[in-house]
Structure 1
Amino acid sequence: MKKLLIAALVYCSAANAQTVININTQQQGARISPTLHGIFFEEISHAGEGGLYAELIQNRGFEESNLPQGTTLEDGFIVPKRTPHFSSHQISDWKMEWPVKSEWPSWSATDGIQLALTDKQPLNYHSLEVNIKAKNASLMNEGFWGINTIAGNKYVLQFYARNYKGPVTASLQSSNGDVLASYTFTDINKKGWSKYSAILSAVKSDPAAHFVLTFGNTGVAYLDFVSLFPQQTFKQHGLRLDLANYIADLKPAFIRWPGGCYVEGINIESAPDWKRTLGPVEKRAGTYSPWGYWSADGFGYHEYLQFCEDIHAAALYVFNVGISCDYRSGTFTNDIDSVIQSALDAIEYAIGPATSKWGKVRAANGHVKPFPLQYVEVGNEQHGPEYALRYNRFYDAIKKRYPQIEIIASMGIGDVNRNTMDSMHHIDLADEHAYKGAYWSFNHDNHFDKYKRGNWKMYVGEYATNAGVGTGNMAATLSDAVYMMAMERNSDLVKMSSYAPLLVNVHDIDWPVNLINFDAAKSFARISYYAIKMFNENRPDVNLATTVTTAPSTAPAFSGGIGLSTWDTQSEYKDIEVRQGDQLLYKSDFIQRAEDWQLLRGKWSVQDSSLSQTAEGAQLMAVLKGKSFDTYTLTLKARKKDGFNAFIVPFAVKDSNTCLRAHIGSYVNQNCVFERVTGGYDVSDLTDQRRLKHPIEKDRWYDIRLEVKADQVDCYLDNELLMSYREPVKVFAIAGREERTGDIIVKVVNANATSCNTTIKLDSTATIDKTATLITLASDSEVSENSFEKPAAYIPVRHQIPVNSGSFNLQLAPYSVNVLRLKSKHD
């Protein structure tokens, strides 16, 4: 990419802190991909089961106590067959805790009923035998942490029963027994399986109700596939309205599905098979998610393709390549031909003519026309030369039959890498995954600029700022926005991206930060959701040359206290001094003045002349009381006694839970790194992990020195420079032109805690209207978050502002993501 098109970030020595953004509308950069923003759906954290898929009954088919295929239960753990791991070639000892404690999870009964799981004449593998010994005894289902029942709404019930004679009342009830909706079946008297359906009309509301079947007679009943849906779903295709609308409102260019680790399975036998997700829902056996629960496969391959069509998004189908999750059992099959055939069949089902084998099946399922499948991905997070050779076989087979399909290559869990690519014959798109800490994107704004261009393009299939940001606060949004701007600026390379994870049921959190949070009744989108929406709705067609010049702040960046800390390590510290030039600001004396230090977490005690920490645990910490420093030199001696890591020296301490720190001996005593801590335990890297020349030795005193300058910190070990950290620039901008309207679209992030006086300068040929639209997403704190209580606390706000051709001033709010639309003046 040409240097002039990179949004350069330069320090200048202005009398007043100010940012100048120069935009040259005559110098165009890369065209911006219309498919830049899509979504990635995976069955994780009950995203689909009890989430997007609107089924309200958990374990509706009574199959959730089944062990995943190819596993056994040993001492509370599911254990796959002990076969070699695809990558390591060794027998893996991986196992997974089995969470199921009942034969019929989510179901319970009152006195007068005995339950048993039976495999006699089931619809699938099992049905529920209900031995009713007392009239009006009841069977209950808890739903997915409750069933949201709303007065005036209707709910569609269906279930299968046999061998019972007598009335059955289906109802939704509150925990106190209040009946919210009910319907009585009076004609249940068939020996064989019969389907029963009804509409439950709610007269009262409860966000956490439960479902009840009450039997008016005694006897033995067999039940299967008990299902309850809201009558109103997204386009009446069985998806929860609020969650589907969140997704649709993003206007994603594509949907990647079904994973993620879900694609791979915990072992090869239990990996998802798209063919098992077709046909009548009561006949679908379900798939065990690597995230620890069963999916009933109601949101199957057909339903996924239908959702893509419904929201005008292309389908990106990820298929298993005969390898299970590399980070789990890693089991695999060498019968590659059958796996390739399955992938070809899946493509045919989606886009083949209605006269083809699988096109006929699609047509029989109610969809004669092809679905919008445009992409397939060969596995998930597989990597290395052996995977590449397998990938080549898939690529050749698919391109031979479907040359129009774009094929995506997995690159493991990190950056695009030569170790994998060099053995691949052809690559349409390479899938990079990027889970980063707060402000990583600030320090790596040139990440995509540095990639050598070739005959391949990039899909950032999973990205998120998910460390050091709580559950997804404004700091995450600012970092995500800068990352997205880097992708847009490098759209000659980056053609597609999708945030991950998309959805989380707050009762089953598998990943620390997720885009959309929900429970049975409510939902809210994180601030980053709105940043993605803003950027996608204001996506130009071509980049314009943009430079950003930011004056340095005169305030020291690292003001605050100092501390001592450990992480699963027992260490001692002594001879602590803080100096500013020749002036001694503090000198420790633990024997005479141990009370200078506040011992926050851990087991601290004075040993000889040192302060010793001897407990196990994370983020154990002591801080110097009542002292704050700005620019200074901190020296101390440190000795490791035992444990996994080594030394941690906090600085810029704001309170007991917030600081920066130098970590020497991180990553099990291999590396060193500067870190940021928020919330006491939420840690993210400020710098890249750097390998130590030698691990820290036990029972040896080391000299540590931190030189804290106005905007940079240098860390020394035994007088040798280990690492440095410079406070990054916190104003970023890019610009582009929308060809349909001629609008100049400027995206600006101000990550400072104060407002930013900004001058925007356009080249002399650009003439614009005197009124522009400014869309701002801002908060008063970097730790601000949306919540169930305040779901729209931080959303974009639109303003009309006066502007001028040539140049004009703009005051950017603190902690803000901004989109400025300048309307071109036409003759």
Structure 2
Amino acid sequence: MRRRSVAITDEGGDMTDLIQVRSVGEPYPISEKLWGVFFEDLNYAADGGLAGDLVQNGAFEYSHSDNPKWSPFTAWRKDVPDGSRGSFWIETDDCVAEENPHHAVVQVDCGAVSLVNRGFEGMRLRAGESYELSLWLWSCDDGPHDVTVSLVDETAPAGNHDGRPAGSSDSIIPSDKTFSEPFAESSGNVSATLRSGSSVRLVAEPSRWTKVEATLIAPFDTRNGSLSITFTGPSRTAVDFVSLEPARTWHGLKHFRVDLAKTIADLNPRFVRFPGGCLVHGLGLDNMYQWKGTIGPVEHRRHDFNLWGYHQSMRLGFYEYLCWCEALGAEPIPVLPAGVSCSGTDGGSMALSETQMRTYVQDVLDFVEFCNGDAETTVWGAKRAACGHPKPFGLRYLGLGNEDDITDDFAERFLTLFRALADKHPEITVIGTAGPTLVGATFDEAWDLARAARVRILDEHSYLAPAWWFQHLDYYDGLDRNGPHVYFGEYASHGTTMLNALSEAAFMAHLEANGDVVDMASYAPLLCRNGHAGWNPDLIYFDDDRTYRTYSYWTQHMFANTAATRARRVDVDGPRTYMRELPGWTGLAFGGDPAVRFENIRIELPDGRVLSADDVTKATGGTARTDLHVNADDYRIRLRARYLDESGMFSIEFGALDEPDRYRLWIGMAGLDCALGALRDGFPYDYDRVSMSRRVSYGDEWDIVIDVRDRGRSVRATVGDTVLAGTDPGAETRRTVTVADDSVRGVTYVRMVNALPDAMDVDLSEVLSAIGLGGQAVDAMMTVLRSDSADAGRPYEAAPSEPESSRIAVPASGVVRVPGWSFTILEIPCADGIRGGDAAAEE
């Protein structure tokens, strides 16, 4: 973020729009932990991301369960040079850890062969930097065997790939230079350590597994590095749990990638949510995130498939998460399953049995004890101390469930856990779940359950178009201040452009204004490894070389680094709204995963005309489009749909199909729901979401009617006996001004969003008067994030511009100019401290 100094003077005589703050209310306290981050292992956010390990699949546990094309040797290359002979296989007997039994066995008949790991698309190795090597070895025959481990530059000549890179040093770690690790669960758990160069010779001992550690120093700089493990023959050697991490750490925190940890820390998060997200409840009961399996020796943390389509090693488990929160100075917001799995699988969610629930309730209580229990007097407090942290972590919040359908199964299990925590740990505030959207039956039922049970905080999620955010800035204004508070746990505006960031800034400013009832908010997802996007957009993109901060990142950064303790209600006048012109025609098309037959397709117009289309069969995974093109503001679509697959959701697309403002009806979301919505600027905009009476299945048929009014500003749809409806209010509030302050620092923050192309003048004279600075020039700090266009910014890239800060002199008139396509924060030191509220009472 850049800083400069400028002066602002009165500017008159032009036609710049004037926005006036008419009245300023008294300050009221708001949450001081409003802005945080939400970490989920999605988009390779953990392994290959925030986790520092450069080796991919070092435990040989990858399988077709993670990816149909994967095997235990995925990410490994088997090198057998000319003149050598050897073979490689996987075994599970006589393993290091029963939880992760797969290990590689390498037999060398003559010469030397190598297992080579290139990490995630090539290891980023930096000249002169140290890397901590760890692996387990076992000589499977009678004698010890030498094993050479080397850092290799894959771009170097082929002659340097023999395990002895040019210019490397070589050291042997003898078997008498060993020591035991603090954990005794692993058989033969001994280890050795010795500083070396880019190559080290180790010894595989017979009759036992040996954990060996060494430090390697890269003599070269490369983006295409690898780790080579070379075996000489004749020999048979087993190897497992291979790891290579940079020795450099962020704040002494091991196992975290430094630049990503710093990029997140720069957001100054007040809390960190972990581990999800959908990852929490998993695909099926055996895939639910089990916290006990993520602490202690990494060898004994059971690997599992990741429901986002890859593998999770649990290298960053709950213990590392809690240490990370401590290093950040952030409140931990862990989330545990509520006793049911994800409802998005065929047949819906699965629930733990009564017997399983008794065990699981204790698991949840044990988690609190692990976090907060005394190291001397409690079982799980002692286990925490054994991990290396005798002092309690001071857990205060615990989420139960994520986007779960509010079925009887869910409600019963959630309440069982909720009551057990209230009984045993009343100091813990439980956070409930309100489903995946801000509309529909699940959302309403979640709020009913929370109110009835007196859940103190409910976790709401929303991914919507910028237009929706601009139209619903007052969304939380009417929330009952005596009911459950809100954790806005997942939100984004479906893109990485400046327009996306400005819509989020406007909504965040109003979240802050409702900070007396909105306790926390976190953008999601947080991280994405370029080339592995399972979800877009994301706050931070990265590759092995650098991080890429989006416009949304800079918006979060600006709020979090000017966090307030109080807010003020303000009334604002002036030209602030934008009304889009919607296209006046409709077509009709079909998309989604399953095969579907569409018949009796027609569009009825108010004047009695009926336009029809031929029957259409949409193939599995394909799309289909009719030749209909009808100019009309109001119309009715009729058709009959027959489901020809076992599972999956399909869509009916209507409106101006080739343009960014159009409409969509989804059927079979999560196997059960219908969702009606629009697209605005190409981004999804929810109208309604309703569950059908039963899950979709092969051969189901529905008569579907869609009534469209005012070019789609009002839409009503029926799918059989399921009814959905929604409206677009039209006007988007694209210019906003809000006021908050930090009563500790004595600073007032004026946050101004201008999501239109032309500059605006903002009259802040009433704000200055309210804080005791009226009628005089005022020194202030102005930070501006701006762009020349609304669509600047792309996924996988850094934002084209960053915030710039400058010292300014606000003139006595109180008028400041704010550029188009910008988010601006004005920091004003207050004369004699903050006026009103607590300060006034003290006077």
Do the two structures share a fold, i.e. TM-score over 0.5?
A: yes
Note the C-alpha offset of 1:246.
1.4
Residue type of the alignment partner of 2:414: Y
Kept in 2: contact 1:108–1:141 (CA 8 A): yes
Partner of residue 245, structure 2: 229
Q: Which residue of 2 aligns with 1:391?
A: 414
**Does 2:405 align with 1:429?**
no
Instruction: Specify the alignment match of 1:156 in structure 2.
Output: 132
Q: 1:365 to 1:420 in 2, by over 3 A?
A: same
Matches within 5 A, 1:345-364: 345-355=366-376, 356-364=378-386
> Any idea what SS the aligned residue of 2:137 has?
strand
Q: Distance in 2 between matches of 1:609 and 1:369?
A: 73
1:57-112 CA deviation, whole Å, 9 max, x = no partner?
111122223xxxxxxxxxx7x6xxxxxxxxxxxxxxxxxx8434323222220233
Q: Which residue of 1 aligns with 2:123?
A: 147
From 250, 260, 265, the counterpart of 2:267: 250
CA contact (8 A) 1:567 1:618 kept: yes
The equivalent of 1:174 in structure 2 is: 154
CA distance in 2, matches of 1:221, 1:621: 63
Task: Tell me the alpha carbon deviations over residues 564-586 of structure 1, each in whole angstroms, 9 at most, x when there is no partner.
Answer: 45334799999999xxxxxxxxx
Secondary structure of 1:762's counterpart equals: helix
SS in 2 for 1:297: coil
* Partner of residue 115 from structure 1, selected from 60, 64, 88: 88
Could you say which residue in structure 1 is the equivalent of 2:721? none
Match of 1:744 among 736, 743, 748: 748
Q: Tell me: CA distance 1:219–1:550, structure 2 relative to 1, closer, same or farther (3 Å).
A: same
Alignment of 1:13-412 (within 5 A): 18-22=17-21, 24-25=23-24, 27-65=25-63, 98-111=67-80, 112-124=85-97, 125-163=101-139, 165-175=145-155, 177=158, 182-185=198-201, 187-236=203-252, 237-328=254-345, 329-335=349-355, 336-355=357-376, 356-382=378-404, 383-412=406-435
Instruction: Check whether the contact 1:408–1:430 (CA below 8 A) recurs between aligned residues.
Output: yes
Q: In the alignment, what sits opposite 2:759?
A: 755
SS at match of 1:726: coil
Structure 1 residue 395: deviation in Å?
A: 2.6
> For 2:222 and 2:354, how far apart are their aligned partners in 1?
52
Range that drifts further, 135-144 or 32-41: 135-144
Q: Shift of the alpha carbon at 1:705?
A: 7.8
Task: Give the deviation of 1:662 after TM superposition.
Answer: 5.3
Matched, 1:527 2:551: yes
Distance 2:430 2:714 in 1: 46
Counterpart code for 1:659? P
Distance in 1, Cα, partners of 2:444 & 2:582 = 39
Question: Separation in 1 of the partners of 2:148 and 2:216?
Answer: 13
Query: Does the CA-based 8 Å contact 1:20-1:761 persist in structure 2?
Result: no
Cross-structure match for 2:175 = none
1:139 is displaced (CA, Å) by 0.8
Q: How does 1:456-535 map to 2 (within 5 A)?
A: 456-466=484-494, 469=495, 472-535=496-559
Aligned to 1:782: 790
CA deviation after TM superposition for structure 1 residue 322, in Å = 2.6
Is the CA contact 1:354–1:369 (under 8 Å) kept in the aligned structure 2?
A: yes
- Structure 1, 489-498 or 319-328: larger mean CA deviation: 319-328
User: Matched residues in 1 for 2:487 and 2:474: separation?
Assistant: 17
| 1:129 Cα offset (Å) | 0.9
Secondary structure of the 2:790 match is: coil
Give the counterpart of 2:808 among 797, 801, 807.
801
1:68 corresponds in structure 2 to none
Distance in 2, matches of 1:358 and 1:458, equals 31
Distance in 2, matches of 1:189 and 1:703, equals 76
8 A contact 1:744–1:824 mirrored in 2: yes
Q: How far is 1:477 from its partner?
A: 1.0
Give the letter for the 1:18 counterpart.
D
Paired letter, 2:782: L
Task: Report the more deviating stretch, 756-765 or 372-381.
Answer: 756-765
Q: In structure 1, how many angstroms separate the alpha carbons of the residues matched to 2:628 and 2:807? A: 48
- Contact preservation (8 Å) 1:208, 1:520: no
SS in 1 for 2:285: coil
- The answer for the alignment partner of 1:767 in structure 2 is 772
* Deviation for aligned residue 1:528: 1.0
Whole-Å Cα distance in 2 between the matches of residues 575 and 358 of structure 1? 67
- In the TM superposition, residue 123 of structure 1 has moved relative to its aligned partner by 0.4
Shift of 1:258: 1.4
1:417 alignment partner AA: D
d(CA) in 2 for partners of 1:231 and 1:714?
59
Give secondary structure in 2 for the equivalent of 1:171: strand
Q: What is the DSSP-based 3-state SS (H/G/I as helix, E as strand, rest coil) of the residue aligned with 2:283?
A: coil
User: Cα deviation per residue 1:167-209 (whole Å; 9 max; x = unaligned)?
Assistant: 4242333155456663131644544222222222112222232
> 2: CA distance between counterparts of 1:188 and 1:750?
65
3-state SS of 2:287 partner: coil
Distance 1:442 1:271 in 2: 37
Contact in 2 for aligned 1:767/1:824 (Cα 8 Å) = yes
8 Å CA contact retained: 1:171, 1:213: no
Q: CA deviation at 1:142?
A: 2.6
Is contact 2:72-2:102 (8 Å) kept?
Answer: no
Q: What is the distance in 1 between the residues matched to 2:427 and 2:809?
A: 47
Q: Kindly state the Cα deviation for residue 363 of structure 1 after the two structures are TM-superposed.
A: 1.7
- Structure 2: how far apart are the matches of 1:704 and 1:407? 42
Q: For residue 38 of structure 1, report the CA deviation from its aligned partner.
A: 1.4
Aligned length in residues:
721
Between the aligned partners of 1:287 and 1:696, the Cα distance in structure 2 is 39
Aligned positions of 1:639-678 closer than 5 A: 648-650=654-656, 658-661=659-662, 673-678=677-682
Task: Specify the code of the residue in structure 2 equivalent to 1:475.
Answer: L
Contact 1:30 1:489 in 2 (8 A): no
Say whether the 8 Å CA contact 1:23–1:544 is kept in structure 2. no
Cα distance in 1 between the residues matched to 2:155 and 2:600: 52
Give the whole-Å Cα distance in 2 for the aligned partners of 1:310 and 1:344.
25
Take 2:702 and 2:407, find their aligned partners in 1: how far apart are those partners? 32
Cα distance in 1, alignment partners of residues 447 and 707 from structure 2: 42
CA contact (8 A) 2:154 2:226 kept: yes
1:542 and 2:566 equivalent?
A: yes
Q: Are the equivalent residues in 2 in contact too, given 1:524–1:786 (CA < 8 A)?
A: no
1:687 Cα deviation (Å)?
A: 5.5
Distance 1:422 1:365, change over 3 A: closer
Compute the RMSD of aligned alpha carbons: 3.8
Query: How far did residue 28 of structure 1 move?
Result: 2.1
Q: Report how far residue 410 of structure 1 moved.
A: 2.0
TM-score normalised according to structure 1 size: 0.78
Q: Which residue of 1 aligns with 2:178?
A: none
Contact 2:149 2:227 in 1 (8 A): no
Match of 2:6 in 1: none
Cα gap change, 1:16/1:792 in structure 2, threshold over 3 Å: closer, same or farther?
closer
What is the alpha-carbon distance in structure 2 between the residues aligned to residue 378 and residue 714 of structure 1?
36
1:731 aligns with 2:735: yes
1:217 maps to amino acid: G
- CA distance change for structure 1 residues 376 and 759 in 2, over 3 Å: closer, same or farther? same
| Deviations, residues 234-293 of structure 1 (Å, cap 9, x unaligned) | 233220001111121111111111122222122222323222222222333223322233
Equivalent in the alignment of 1:818? 824
